[in-house]
Amino acid sequence: LRQRRTAWAEEIGRTREKGPYYYFVGCLPFFEITFRYLNISLLEDARSVLTLLNRVGIEPVIAEEERCCGHDALWTGDEETFLDLAYRNLKTIEAAGAETVIFSCPEGYAVFRFDYPRYFGPLPFRVVHLSELLAEKLPEAGAPFRPALVRRVTFQDPCRLGRHSGLYDPPRRLLSQIPGLEWVEMERTEENALCCGTSAWMECSACSKALQKERLQEAEQTGAERLLTACPKCRIHFTCAQAGEDGTMKIQDIFTFLADHLKKD
């Protein structure tokens, strides 16, 4: 049996079988099933990405043959599996004729940007995180956002996007475009931001849980109604840590939040 990786995109937005832009979806279709007990929809986030890309005039390739980027295999020392996954992904992207590969997941972005070239040499396409692309193209769309649906939000800097890749500004630039939205920083932010507690599903220990709860407390102290992040694993880990606690703050993907604020065509 093989999961239909692209079924979520049907009737949601416009995609292509071949073209200059490729959206690397990553493991969201698998996370959707694995973490359904948390009552969060990771595929909703993928659909939001497609909505945002279509709004700026991009109809991306989404490939059934795509594999995991190999991040977790590499970080747990399984180089053989990593290389196999990477080789298959590069062949899939080559067959699509893509010139730019777009990532909403920071882990996929960082692996393609830093690790794939170490093993395979310079890549024949541009690697870009969605926040960079939207920060560049949304202003050209002309005030695409409606007034804020909530008063205040705060943002979690994912490790791979921030400390690893140095992308702090693009998500904040995007949030600043929503009329009437106040976004506030937590006590520790950007390169000093607390990690969500674990990576590569290696271990969610008592130490990891303590980090998660400490970070959630920092978020609550801002008075924000939403904790936004650009990483599906951050969202999963914080939602898991919040279960059974008194906190009421909603944890949401930043791209779903942005898509919810798009003006109707």
CA distance 228 to 118: 32
CB 24 within 8 A of CB 101: yes
Sheet with 226-229, strands from edge to edge, namely: 182-183, 152-156, 226-229, 250-253
- CA–CA distances in Å: residue 223 to residues 181, 217, 229: 13, 10, 16
The runs of H, that is alpha helices, within the chain are 28-34, 42-55, 71-75, 79-96, 106-110, 116-120, 130-141, 169-175, 206-221, 232-242, 254-260
The answer to whether residue 129 is domain-embedded is yes
Q: Encoding tokens for residue 115?
A: 């690790």
**Strand 152-156 versus strand 182-183 pairing type:** parallel
Burial class for 247, CB neighbours closer than 10 Å (0-12, 13-18, 19+) = middle
Please report where in the chains the tokens 């005030």 appear, as a residue: 143
Say if residue 131 is in the same domain as residue 187. no
In the 8-state DSSP scheme, what is residue 191?
G
Higher pLDDT, 141 or 89: 89
70-108 pLDDT, tens digit each: 999 999 999 999 999 999 999 999 999 999 999 999 999
pLDDT of residue 190: 79
Q: Which of 72, 100, 135 is the last residue of a domain?
A: 135
pTM: 0.92
- The arithmetic mean of pLDDT across residues 99-122, rounded, is 97
The answer to whether residue 200 is domain-embedded is yes
pLDDT of residue 3: 57
**Percent of the chain predicted with pLDDT > 70:** 94
Sheet with 126-129, strands from edge to edge, namely: 21-24, 100-103, 126-129
The answer to whether residue 2 is domain-embedded is no
pLDDT of residue 203: 63
Burial class for 173, CB neighbours closer than 10 Å (0-12, 13-18, 19+) = middle
What is the domain range of residue 165? Answer: 144-260
pLDDT of residue 149: 95
Say if residue 93 is in the same domain as residue 19. yes
**Percent of the chain predicted with pLDDT > 90:** 62
The sign of the dihedral angle between the CA atoms of 138, 139, 142, 146 is positive
213-253 pLDDT, tens digit each: 888 889 899 999 999 999 998 898 888 888 767 767 899 99
Q: Which of 70, 100, 135 is the last residue of a domain?
A: 135
Higher pLDDT, 246 or 52: 52
Is residue 129 over pLDDT 90?
yes
Say if residue 117 is in the same domain as residue 162. no
Is residue 8 over pLDDT 90?
no
Say if residue 168 is in the same domain as residue 215. yes
The answer to whether residue 85 is domain-embedded is yes
CATH number of the domain that residue 219 is part of: 3.40.50
pLDDT of residue 1: 38
Say if residue 209 is in the same domain as residue 113. no
Phi, psi at 44, each rounded to 5°: -60, -35
The answer to whether residue 45 is domain-embedded is yes
Say if residue 82 is in the same domain as residue 109. yes
Q: Which of 50-59, 142-151, 208-217 has the highest mean pLDDT?
A: 50-59
Rg, C-alpha atoms of the chain: 18
Q: Which of 112, 135, 158 is the last residue of a domain?
A: 135
Higher pLDDT, 54 or 200: 54
The answer to whether residue 265 is domain-embedded is no
Query: Given pLDDT bands bounded at 50, 70 and 90, which one contains residue 27?
Result: confident
The average confidence (pLDDT) of the chain is 89
Query: Given pLDDT bands bounded at 50, 70 and 90, which one contains residue 188?
Result: confident
Say if residue 125 is in the same domain as residue 196. no
105 sits in the region (left: phi over 0; alpha: psi -120 to 50; else beta) called beta
Higher pLDDT, 3 or 90: 90
- CA–CA distances in Å: residue 140 to residues 3, 11, 133: 37, 26, 11
Number of domains into which the chain is organized: 2
Higher pLDDT, 63 or 4: 63
Is residue 205 over pLDDT 70?
no
